[in-house]
Structures are given as C-alpha cells and as structure tokens.
Amino acid sequence: MPFQIDSKKIAKNTITLYTRYIITMLISFFTVRVTLEQLGVENYGLNNLVGSIVSMFSFINGSMGTAVQRFYSYEIGKGNQERLSKVFGVGLFLHIMVALVTFLACEVFAVFFLQKMNIPAERMTAAQIVFQINIIILCMGIVTVPYTALLFAREQFSKTAIVDVAQSVLKLGNLYLLIVISYDKLVVLAVLNLVVSVAVVLSYVFLGRKFPETHNKPLFDKELIKEMLKFVSMLLLTVFASLMNTQGVVMLINLFFGLTINAAYAVAVQVQNAVNTFVTNFKSSMVPQIMASYGANDLKSMHNLINFGTKLTFIMLLMITLPLITSIQWILTLWLKEPPEYSAQLVVLILISINISSYTYFQYQGVHASGKIIKQQAWTSSSYMFSILFVFIAFKLGFNFYYALFINMVVVGVGQAVINIIYAKKCYDYPIVNFIKRIFVPSVVIAGFVAVVVLVLIKTFDSEVMRLIVSFAIDLTLLPLADLFVLFSKEERQKVYVFVGKLVFRKA
C-alpha cells in the first residue's frame, strides 16, 4: 500500500513550530543583547569559547541521537511496536554509556588542555567553574535524547514547543537575576542555566513517558546494538568532524585573533542559529514522513516529499536572509546597540553559507532513511576536516578571519551538496537530471534575479528602515510569484495552495 502523505499534519506541525520559533527568537535576541551588556565583550567571548569546547564533546551523542530517531521513524513506518520498544531500551542504554564516556573525556580536557587556551589568568577560575557546569548540562541532555528523539519521531511538536517556549521564558527570568546578583556574572549565568536545564530534562522525560515504548528499561540487546552501531559507525566520524569544523573555527579564531573577534563570531553564530531554526521548523515537520515513506517502501512518495521540501526551503530561507544581508549593520546596531567590530561582515558570510548548505538537506535525510550511509559519511567527514585544515593553513599564512567562512562555504557547503545528490541517486534512486533541470537551475536564476532587483531598488532610499521594508516587500511578493510559476509545476502549485491554506485557515 502506498504511503499516505499527511499534508494536514505537516501544516499543523509547521504552525506549531513557527509559533514556537517566533516566541523563542524574540526572547533569544533580547537575551543575547542583555547578556552581552551584562558580561561585556571579553566575558561574552569567554562564555562562547567555553561553551564551544564542551559542545565538541557532544559528537558521540549527536551520532547516537540521529541513529535512534532514524530507527524510531523507520519502525513507526513499519508499524512494529515491539521492535520500537526494543529500540528505545537499547537507545537508553547506549546514551547512558555515551554520557559516562563524554564526562570522562571532558574532565581529561579540563585537566590537561583548558589552561592552554588564550584565557586571561584572572578569569581561569571562572572558566573552570563554567566548564564543569556545562559538562553537567551536556551529560543530562545526552541521557534525555532517547525521549526527545521519540517525541520528534511521533511528531509531538506541540508538546515539545511548549517546553522550548518555557525554557526561553525561564532564561529571560535568568536575566533579571543576572542583573541584580553582584557575584561573578559569568558564573551566575552558568548556574542559572543549569537550573533551567534540569527543568527542561524532567519535562521531556515526563512527556516521553506517555508512550508505552518508553516504559522499557535500558536494554542490552546484542543484535540490535550491533545494527545501530553499524549505522552510527560512520555517522560518528561525520558528527565529530562537523564539530571539529564548527567549534574548531572558534578555537582557531581565539588563538590567532583573540576574544574580541570571538565575540563578533559569537554574534554571527547567534544569527546563524536563529535563521537555521527558522527553516528547520519546516524541515522537522517533513522529515518523519520522509523516513516513514522509505520504511513503507514507497520511493515515489519519498521523492515527492524531498522535492517539495527542497523548493519550499529554498523560498523560505531566501525570503529571510536576503533582507537581513542588505540591512545587517543597521539591524545589529538596533539589536545590540554596540555590536562587536566585524560582526556585520561575519553575519553576511554566514547567511550566504546557510543558503548553500541547507539546499540539499532533504536529500541528505533521505540517505539516512535508507541506512546506506557509509560512503556518503566518509566524504562528508572529509569535507569538514579538509575545511578546518585549510582554515588553519590560511591563518598561519597571515590571511584574516574572513577566510574561515570563505573556505567553509566552498569546501563544506558546495562539496556536501554534490555529495548529497550523488548518494541520493545511489541509495534510493533519486533522479539527478530532473533535480538539476527542474529545481537547481531555476533556483539559481530566481535567486540571482530577485537579488539584483532588491539591490537596485534599495539604493534609491537613504533610510535604513525604508531599505529593510522595501527589501522584505519585494521578497514577500516577487520571490513567491517567481517560485510558483518558474520553480513549481502545476501539480506542485496546487499542493502549495493547499499547504498555505491549511497554514492560514487551520481546521481542527
């Protein structure tokens, strides 16, 4: 029986995720502004540096979380409840082991390497305390992954959205305490974040326990562990390479340029996270059905979902990033009052990178659904490692910090797009020629045309406010029309009308 694409559920989930996004984004931007004011540029850069180091040790957890969610969605597509319960038990067992390994690895780093970082001697004690607190938060999050992955696989987005909004509100409350408490603000912020993290972890466990499969205890099933670890084996290397690339840039910038540029890069990463979250909301609502359609052995529905998702993601991402690029300096000043020097330039480069790296996201997820990831992950890992190597060489040769993003854009962004398309063809017979002719080429033409129109028209205005308004107005009118009549087929236009109609006129 063909897999039934539930467009109503996708629309409902998208509404929920975007409602969460709007609330959390507004709170997050305000939080970053006040945090930067309270901590100061150097402490803000130090907080980002310590957090980045701890994040590097989450690569094992990232691999296992992806594997567990893939197995959940696959078994849900198969309709195998008994197998699903086993997957949860094994996933819980593996994540407990991962948490222990991560804790030990972090402590080794704290003892032997943290003092070698470019951190002022008088701030080393605070850095050590913040580092230990971040380790605790990381390990708690690792053990919670089997629950959060199940909630996503079960498409319980409304429940997870409530938790995420509550987390943002609690962090907003932390700002008040950060202002009134006179003790070392860097340490105070870390302790307050720990309290919020405990509340979030307990909430996810409580929500996950509503499903019968989560009543299973940690399970040691040798065959299933072997199967899951086989899937993870190459994925583990990729996640590690990705973190080495992302957080390695932070560390290399620190070593070559200091905490001031770290602060500028941290602001750029905040914008990156916000924009990624914007488009990820839609992506997340579609991925479970892509996975389930493969589990149901319906490749036609899978291809249709991937193509539809790729086109809509392109539209949505360009609509938000193009106006930001044209007015970024004014936006950052409005947001942060006095943004760190070079923030605007770094943000522009990161926004361009996001458009490139996000373009073949669904093709990448399709390969995950197939489980045939070894060669794809080997090439993906290589792109990350070569990128950070080239960045190091560039810095040693005296190139400035912009080249970290230039290199990453080409080696990782463009390189992985090619890798994803090639292995989509090999793993689930994805039609490459059709993708190039009907999706990629029209997308490039549309992006170039709209960008030129926007850049030409905004030059006629001196007011930054008017430039931003005009840029958004053009994006919200010209881009959707061009996409509908150039990028989408007649049948796909009908799907868009139905999808948008369900977003605007939601029915119970």
**Domain ranges, ordered by start, for the chain:** 7-504
Predicted confidence (pLDDT) at residue 163 exceeds the cutoff of 50? yes
Measured between alpha carbons, how far is 165 from 176 in angstroms, rounded to an integer?
18
The token duo for 377 is: 């992950």
B/e letters for 476-503, b = 16+ CB within 10 Å, e = fewer, are eeebeebbeeebbeeebeebbeebeebe
Residues 17/160, Cβ–Cβ less than 8 Å: no
Torsion of CA 250, 23, 18, 367, to 10 degrees: 30
DSSP string, 448-474: HHHHHHHHHHHTT---HHHHHHHHHHH
Query: What is the rounded average pLDDT of the residues 45-55?
Result: 74
Whole-number Cα distances in Å, 363 to 4, 315, 477? 20, 17, 28
Tell me the pLDDT of the chain averaged across its residues: 81
Angle at 236 (CA atoms; ends 233, 242), nearest 5 degrees: 150
Predicted confidence (pLDDT) at residue 171 exceeds the cutoff of 70? yes
Q: pLDDT tens digits, residue range 123-156?
A: 878 888 888 888 898 889 888 888 888 887 787 7
DSSP string, 210-248: TSGGGGSPP---HHHHHHHHHHHHHHHHHHHHHHHHHHH
This prediction has a pTM of: 0.69
Percentage of residues of the chain with pLDDT beyond 90? 8
